[in-house]
Amino acid sequence: MIATMQDHWYPVALASKLTRSGRDTLLLAQPIHVRAEASGAPVVTCDGRVLPVLVKFGHVWTSLGTPAGDVFDIPEAHQPGRRLVEVGSVKVRCSPLRAVENFLDIAHFPFVHTDVLGSEPHTEVERYEVEIRDDVNEVWATKVKFFQPQAARSAQGGITTEYMYRVPNPTCSVLYKTCPPRPGEWDVITIFVQPLTETTCEVWPWMALYDDDSTMTQMIHFQQLIFLQDRSILENQLPALLPLDPGQEIPTRADMLSIAYRRWLKRHGYTFGAQLVAA
């Protein structure tokens, strides 16, 4: 059964920032209120209703509908020694689906994140593998490799970075990448996207890293720098809604993951923030 867009879990606050006075926010263009009870447990309400709530990955998650099950898991989040980094949120004037697709885009590294995640003339995206894993109903890309001048806050000099991408939810994505200080392990970088309207969203990055040298502030600032470079691109993309018809934009080999993501969204029937036919 296809769940409606209201039946998914969405992040609405950092659990560590909740106070008893709470905060107002938006979810799917509807006003909700997030507050902490005396026990510290969060409560989310909307129009007199008490909404379902979960705390996971340092965030408060809720839904306007009836989610089927828990928020997806990230096993690496439970590994001892990892630094769990709550980056906060950035409001972006773009479709929530555009925000996820941009996170999945490998080819923009040299042009948007110049001399950090990419650089010219190292612009070629090598062939990688993409699949929709029916057993877990997720999109995965593996064997992704790209030269990066500074792959992470902890990196010392340029390296060829290996990536894996995972889409477990229409508005969330998990990135696994080479961990410079611990070869053989993966750094985990995610974005959890909170839809506000079809063309605005709140993006909540979160990370699980092995990094014993950087301060928490340094890791947060590094990730904020990367995402703020993306924001100007996202807010100027046309069309504003993400086209689900493959004939509306001209894909290249580097866009295999984007194509699979759009196909998966159609299978889910998730069209909030999407453009179904050419304008």
Rounded Cα–Cα distance for residues 257 and 101 (Å):
9
**Within 13 Å, how many C-alpha atoms sit on residue 269's CB side?**
8
Q: How far apart are CA 250 and CA 258, in angstroms?
A: 12
Is 242 in a helix, a strand, or coil? Answer: strand
Euclidean distance between CA atoms 71 and 206, whole angstroms = 15
pLDDT at 153 over 60: no
| Residue 263 predicted with pLDDT over 90 | yes
Check residue 184 and give its pLDDT: 86
| 81, pLDDT greater than 70 | yes
Burial of 60 (0-12, 13-18, 19+ CB in 10 A): buried
pLDDT band at 84; cut points 50, 70, 90? very high
Residues contacting 137, CB < 8 A, separation 6+: none
Better pLDDT: 135 or 248:
135
d(CA 55, CA 40): 11
Q: What CATH number is given for 5-62 in this structure?
A: 2.20.25.680
Return the pLDDT at 113. Answer: 45
Separation CA 79–CA 66 (nearest Å):
30
**pLDDT for residue 30:** 87
pLDDT digits (tens, 9 = 90+) for 188-209: 999 999 999 999 999 999 999 9
Place of tokens 């990230």: 74
Tokens 């839809």 sit on residue: 195
3-state secondary structure (DSSP) of residue 255: helix
Residue 221 pLDDT > 70: yes
pLDDT above 80 (res 23): no
Per-residue pLDDT band at 54 (split at 50, 70, 90) = very high
CB neighbour class for 43 (10 Å; exposed up to 12, middle 13-18, buried from 19): middle
Per-residue pLDDT for 97 more than 90? yes
Distance CA 224, CA 172 (A): 17
58 in Cβ contact with 16 (< 8 Å)? yes
CA distances (Å), 251 to each of 199, 247, 258, 260, in order?
22, 9, 9, 11
Model pLDDT, residue 115: 47
Give the integer Cα–Cα distance in Å for 52 and 219.
32
Asked if domains 5-62 and 78-275 share a fold, the reply is no
Domain coordinates in residue numbering, the chain: 5-62, 78-275
Averaged pLDDT for residues 9-28: 86
- Distances in Å between the Cα of 86 and the Cα atoms of 76, 121, 223 are 15, 34, 10
CA dist 118 and 161 (Å) reads: 10
For 78-275, CATH number? 3.90.380.10
Cα Dmax for the chain: 56
How confident is the prediction for the chain on average, in pLDDT?
85
CA-based nearest residue to 216, from 86, 55, 24, 68 = 86
pLDDT at 107: 58
Q: Which two tokens stand for residue 158?
A: 């340029």
Percent of the chain clearing pLDDT 70 (strictly above): 83
**pLDDT confidence band for 1 (50 / 70 / 90):** very low
- Which of 19-28, 115-124, 162-171 holds the top average pLDDT? 162-171
